[in-house]
Amino acid sequence: MALDLEEDVSTQPAKGKQDIVTGAISVAAILMFVGTGSSVLSTTLQHYFEGGAPADRTLVIALLLNVALILFGWRRHSALSQEVRIRTAAEERAQQLASRDPLTGFLNRRSLAEEGAAMFVRAHRRRKAMALIMLDLDHFKTINDMHGHAVGDALLRAVAVEIAQAMPPIALQARLGGDEFSCGFLFDPQQPDTVERIAERLVARMAQPFEAEGLHLHISCSLGIARSDFDCASIDALMRSADIAMYQAKKSGRNRYAWFDQSMERELQVRNELESGLRMAIPRQEIVPYFEQQVDLQTGRLHGFEVLARWEHPTRGLISPDLFIPIAEETGMIADLSLSIMRQSFIAARDWDPSLSLSINISPWQLRDAWLAQKIIKVLTETGFPANRLEIEITESSLFDNLALAQSIVGSLKNQGARLALDDFGTGYSSLAHLRALPFDRIKIDKSFVMSLNENADSAAIVKAIAGLGESLNLPVTAEGVEDAAIEERLRALGIAKSQGWYYGKPLSVTGVRRMLAERRLLQQPQASGPLTVEIVEPVAGELPEAATNQRLAG
C-alpha cells in the first residue's frame, strides 16, 4: 500500500506533463476539425450524392488523421480520469487507516485529538459544552486470558456497537487502545443530566452479559467524564481530566461513572509527589521499621513484634503505610521497600533476646517474584538473623494469582525454618480451601472484628468461629486490634493464643523498642569487648558475624 502510494507520488510530475501535451493535441485536433472538417465533409458528400468535384485527397487524409487524434485524446482522457478515481480511493483508504481503529472502525487516539479539538472550539463558539467520556472495561484481561484474543476482539467490537448506540446523533467515538474507549459530544451546559443519562445507560449496558463467539461474557465498565466549560483549557486537558475521573471510578469500586473534579487533580498531584519521593526514600532508608508488640495471651509474655513500615518524611512527618504501600506496589518498588525494611529490622534485632520473633508483611505482588525466597534468605544470611525467628504474613489475595509459585516460595522459606501466618482472616474470602492451600502456622483475625468484639454480636460470632476453626485445625490464632483490657479478657476466654494492639502500646521505632527491651532486661548482654552501640552498621555481604551464623545454622 505504502509502496503504491510512493510510486504514484514519484511519477506524478511526468504524468502531469503528458496530460498537458495530450490535452493540447486534443484541443488542436478539435479546432482543426471545426475549422476544416465541415467544408471537407460537405464537399465529399456533394461528390457522392450530387456528382460534384471530389474533395482534395490531402484534406480527406488530414480529416481522418484529425478524427484519429480526437479518438486518441478521448481515450487518454477516460484512462486518466479512471486513474484519478483509483488514486483518490487509495488516498481515502490510507487516510482511513491512519485515523481509524481497524478493529472497531472508531477514531484512534490521534484522530480523536484532532477532531476533538475542532469540537472543543465549536462548543465554545456555540455557547455549548463538550463532554468527554473515557470508558475502560473492568477486568477485560481476564476475558482475554480465559477465552483468548479472538473472543476478546469480538467483545471489543460488540462493546463498540453498544457505545455507538448510546451516543447522541453527532458524536466522536474512539478506541484509544486495548479496552479503552472515548467519546465526545456537545450538550447544553445547563443540563448536565443529559450527559449523566448517557453515562448511566453505558454503565448499565456493559454490565449486561455480551454474546461473543457463542459465549456469554460478563464484564462491566468504569467511566470518567469531563466537561469543557469547567477548568479545561484545551482538548488535551479535557482528555486528561476524563482519564483522572475514570481512575477515580475504578478506585471507588468500578462499574460506575464519575465526573472529574478539582480534588481528583490534587489527589493525583499528592500521589505523584509521594511516588517520586518514595523512589528516593527507599535508598535513603527513610522508610523504616516500627514494631508492634505481640503478646502471649495465656502467660502475658512478650512473644515478638509485627514489623510495620513507616515513612519518616523529612518535612511531612510520619506517613502511614496505607498511603505509600499501594503506590510501592503499583510502581514495582514494593520488593526493594520490603527487603530494605527486613534488612533494617533484622539488624536492629541482633542483640534482642533470642526468644523474640519478627512478623513481616509480604505483599501479594512480591509473591509473583520467583526469586523472593532467595532474596529473603540472602538478607537473613547477611544480617545473621535466624530464619526460625521470622514469621511471614500473607493475605488470602496472595493465593489467587499464581498459587504454584506462592507454594514454592513459601516452601523454600519454611525449609529454612521460617513460619507462615494468614493475615486479615475474616475479611475477603475467609475460605477453608485457602487455609489448606499453604502450610500455615497461624491465623490472624482481622482487627475490624476484634475492636468491635464487645459491642457487636456479629463480630463476636466471627471471632468465636475463627477461634473454633483454629482449634480444630490445630492452628494457633492471633487477634490484632486489641485496644482494652475487656477485649483482651474476652479473647483469653475464647482460647486465642496471641494478641497485639494499642492496649500494649503504639508501634515503636528501633530506638523505642531498644529502650523498652532494656527496661525489661530483654537485651542480650554486651560482649566482653564493651557495650554495643545503638548505631547500626550494615555488614558487607559475606562478612558475617560468626556467632550469628552459628546460631542460624543451629536453629
Pairwise CA distance, residues 409 & 390, whole Å:
15
DSSP helix/strand/coil, 479: strand
Cβ 28 to ligand G shortest distance, Å: 59
Asked whether the beta carbons of 173 and 127 are under 8 A apart, the reply is: no
The smaller minimum CB distance to ligand G, of residues 40 and 278, is found at 278
Neighbour-count burial of 340, counting CB atoms closer than 10 A to its CB (0-12 exposed, 13-18 middle, 19+ buried): buried
The smaller minimum CB distance to ligand G, of residues 241 and 344, is found at 344
Q: Pick the binder of ligand G from 198, 217, 325, 510 (CB under 6 A).
A: 325
Instruction: Choose one: 3-11, 43-51, 58-66, 152-160; the region binding ligand G (CB under 6 A).
Output: 152-160
Residue 79 C-alpha cell reads as 484512462
Cβ 128 to Mn ion shortest distance, Å: 53
| Per CB under 6 A, 382 contacts ligand G | no
Instruction: Choose one: 40-48, 145-153, 208-216, 256-264; the region binding ligand G (CB under 6 A).
Output: 145-153
Instruction: Choose one: 90-98, 110-118, 149-157, 223-231; the region binding ligand G (CB under 6 A).
Output: 149-157
Q: Pick the binder of Mn ion from 136, 393, 446, 488 (CB under 5 A).
A: 393
CA angle 131, 122, 226 (to 5 degrees): 15
Asked whether the beta carbons of 547 and 354 are under 8 A apart, the reply is: no
Cβ 421 to ligand G shortest distance, Å: 11
Touching ligand G, residues 51-80 (CB under 6 A)? none
| Per CB under 6 A, 346 contacts ligand G | no
Instruction: Choose one: 150-158, 227-235, 429-437, 523-531; the region binding ligand G (CB under 6 A).
Output: 150-158
Q: Which amino acid is at 536?
A: I
Cβ 477 to ligand G shortest distance, Å: 17
Instruction: Choose one: 31-39, 405-413, 420-428, 521-529; the region binding Mn ion (CB under 5 A).
Output: 420-428
| Per CB under 6 A, 152 contacts ligand G | yes
Instruction: Choose one: 156-164, 384-392, 416-424, 513-521; the region binding Mn ion (CB under 5 A).
Output: 416-424
Helices (H), 384-453: 398-401, 403-415, 432-437, 447-451
CB-CB neighbours of 88 under 10 Å: 10
Q: Pick the binder of Mn ion from 182, 294, 361, 398 (CB under 5 A).
A: 361
Pairwise CA distance, residues 304 & 190, whole Å:
62
Instruction: Report CA torsion sign: 374, 375, 376, 382.
Output: positive
| Per CB under 6 A, 218 contacts ligand G | no
Neighbour-count burial of 298, counting CB atoms closer than 10 A to its CB (0-12 exposed, 13-18 middle, 19+ buried): exposed
| Per CB under 6 A, 105 contacts ligand G | no
Instruction: For residue 242, give the nearest of 229, 255, 256, 261 by alpha carbon.
Output: 261
Contact letters (x/-) for ligand G, 169-208, by CB under 6 A? ---------xx-----------------------------
Instruction: Choose one: 47-55, 237-245, 319-327, 344-352; the region binding ligand G (CB under 6 A).
Output: 319-327
Give bridge partners of residue 175 from the DSSP assignment. Answer: 181
The smaller minimum CB distance to ligand G, of residues 392 and 491, is found at 392
Instruction: For residue 432, give the nearest of 399, 458, 478 by alpha carbon.
Output: 399
The smaller minimum CB distance to ligand G, of residues 326 and 354, is found at 326
Asked whether the beta carbons of 360 and 391 are under 8 A apart, the reply is: yes
Q: Pick the binder of ligand G from 294, 345, 361, 499 (CB under 6 A).
A: 361
Pairwise CA distance, residues 204 & 226, whole Å:
20
Q: Closest CB to ligand G belongs to which residue?
A: 152
Q: Pick the binder of ligand G from 8, 115, 153, 353 (CB under 6 A).
A: 153
| Per CB under 6 A, 321 contacts ligand G | yes
Instruction: Report the chain's C-alpha Rg in angstroms.
Output: 39
Pairwise CA distance, residues 315 & 301, whole Å:
38
* Residues touching ligand G, count (CB under 6 A): 23
Instruction: Report CA torsion sign: 321, 323, 325, 326.
Output: positive
Indicate the DSSP class of residue 189.
T
Q: Pick the binder of ligand G from 133, 136, 264, 392 (CB under 6 A).
A: 136
Cβ 330 to ligand G shortest distance, Å: 12
HEC assignment per residue over 271-283: HHHHHHHHHHHCC
Instruction: For residue 241, give the nearest of 250, 229, 253, 232 by alpha carbon.
Output: 232
Q: Pick the binder of ligand G from 75, 93, 149, 436 (CB under 6 A).
A: 149
Asked whether the beta carbons of 260 and 242 are under 8 A apart, the reply is: yes
Cβ 141 to ligand G shortest distance, Å: 4
The smaller minimum CB distance to ligand G, of residues 132 and 287, is found at 287
Instruction: Choose one: 52-60, 258-266, 360-368, 543-551; the region binding Mn ion (CB under 5 A).
Output: 360-368
Backbone angles phi, psi at 521, to 5 degrees: 55, 45
HEC assignment per residue over 143-155: HHHHHCHHHHHHH
The smaller minimum CB distance to ligand G, of residues 137 and 462, is found at 137
DSSP 84-96: HHHHHHHHHHHHH
| Per CB under 6 A, 137 contacts ligand G | yes
Indicate the DSSP class of residue 35.
I
Instruction: Choose one: 16-24, 39-47, 151-159, 344-352; the region binding ligand G (CB under 6 A).
Output: 151-159
Cβ 8 to ligand G shortest distance, Å: 31
What is the contact surface with ligand G in residues (CB under 6 A)? Answer: 103, 136-137, 139-141, 144, 149, 152-153, 156, 178-179, 308-309, 320-322, 325, 338, 341, 361, 363
What is the contact surface with Mn ion in residues (CB under 5 A)? Answer: 361, 393, 423
